[in-house]
Amino acid sequence: MTITPEFGPAPYTFNLPYTRQPVADAWELNVAMLQLLRERYVA
């Protein structure tokens, strides 16, 4: 089974107005999602 979370560059990750800086680190979001899915679905 494959799960593809959509935490990536714009337009997926929100950016701050004017500076266009991302409000979160996409790598950290994906690692957190990996850990959450492992806790829930790996026995």
pTM for this structure? 0.68
Q: What is the pLDDT of residues 1-29, one digit of tens each?
A: 788 877 877 777 888 999 988 888 888 98
CB atoms within 10 A of CB 34: 12
Instruction: Supply the pLDDT for residue 36.
Output: 93
Say which residues have a Cβ less than 8 Å from residue 8's Cβ, sequence separation at least 6.
26
Instruction: Supply the pLDDT for residue 32.
Output: 94
